[in-house]
Amino acid sequence: MGVRCAVVGAGALGSIHARVLSKLADAELVGVHDTDGARARDVAKKWKIPVFEDLDAVAAGAEAAIVAVPTSAHMGVAEHLLSAGVHCLVEKPLASSLEEARRIVAVAREADRQLMVGHVERFNPAVVAVLEHGLEPRFLEAQRVSPFPFRSADVGVVLDMMIHDIDLILHLVRSKVTAVHAVGVGVLGDAEDMANARLVFENGAVANVTASRVALKTERKMRFFAEDTYVTLDFHKKSGRLIRLAPGVREGIVGGQIKLEGMTPLEATVKRLVRTHSLKVRAKDEPLMLEDQAFLDAVKDGHEPAVTGEHGVLAMETAAQVIASIRANAAS
């Protein structure tokens, strides 16, 4: 038998989780709950599962839950379920405030339940592939833009979208953020809909991060420089490329045996000074399916989740610095 799982929140993302859980051998999808009864019934009918009338019913019928409610409701739902003994995967961001995020982590610890945060880009096959190279990024650029989704936006674009890249950058750099400078502007409301942030790390790395939910197209890309290596990632296409100096080239440049003056990038490639190859992405699996499977594995085996509550708090701490900088610069 699989882990008895419920989905709490039957919106677009909750519906996807329900589909994914229905296909995973390690999961038994036992029900769905939403404050909108009609929406819950639609999902329940599609996957032939019961509707849980309230969170107490969820706790009674499930051992694990996907919390896919609006961000402003994360703490209330997660605290209730964790305290009742239910393991939780809480969609990103972990909460709508840093204080609430820390509270959720504390409750999970007190209840001795698994808490995982839905930073799904960690499971993008392109990200998994690039991590295998053990690179140490020195400069990173991330761009995440999309048209407005015309759904409830109870948080600004930093917590809605940019936090994906903040979490990934923290995961790649693995150093303390020492300085943040950010700007942002609201277009459709008071919260920022476009934002740009510059993050400086203790180890000297620097990241430039842009997010917009009022763009004309969808784009989710990152590029970064490490020693002798340039990496481009396309999260949407689940692909990436590595451009690297060939062995001995650096020494040849330093020693004067290789002259770069006037050389074009094409000539450098032809002369095999640089090598370009696609990332070896093993399989372009659905990131959300990999994420849910990782959550189930943690519940079954009792090991630490791939994305812990502490990881979620760390991303939110940086996001809070970005938001504070945006507000400070807007007021100046």
Domain ranges within the chain, ordered by starting residue: 3-120+287-307, 123-281+320-330
CATH superfamily label, 3-120+287-307:
NAD(P)-binding Rossmann-like Domain (3.40.50.720)
CA distances from 135 to 170, 172, 191, 256 (A): 13, 8, 35, 27
In DSSP terms, 140 is beta-bridged to 207, 224
The per-residue pLDDT of the chain, averaged, comes to 93
Q: How confident is the model at residue 37 (pLDDT cuts 50, 70, 90)?
A: very high
The pLDDT of residue 223 is above 60:
yes
Residue 202 contacts residue 212 (beta carbons within 8 Å):
no
Q: How far apart are CA 1 and CA 6, in angstroms?
A: 15
**pLDDT at residue 284, as a whole number:** 76
Q: 183: alpha, beta or left, given left = phi > 0 and alpha = psi -120 to 50?
A: beta
- What is the CATH architecture of 123-281+320-330? 2-Layer Sandwich (3.30)
Residue 225 contacts residue 199 (beta carbons within 8 Å):
no
**pLDDT at residue 249, as a whole number:** 66
Where is pLDDT greater, at 211 or 245? 211
The predicted model scores a pTM of: 0.91
In DSSP terms, 230 is beta-bridged to 225, 243
Identical fold for domains 3-120+287-307 and 123-281+320-330, yes or no, is no
The pLDDT of residue 36 is above 80:
yes
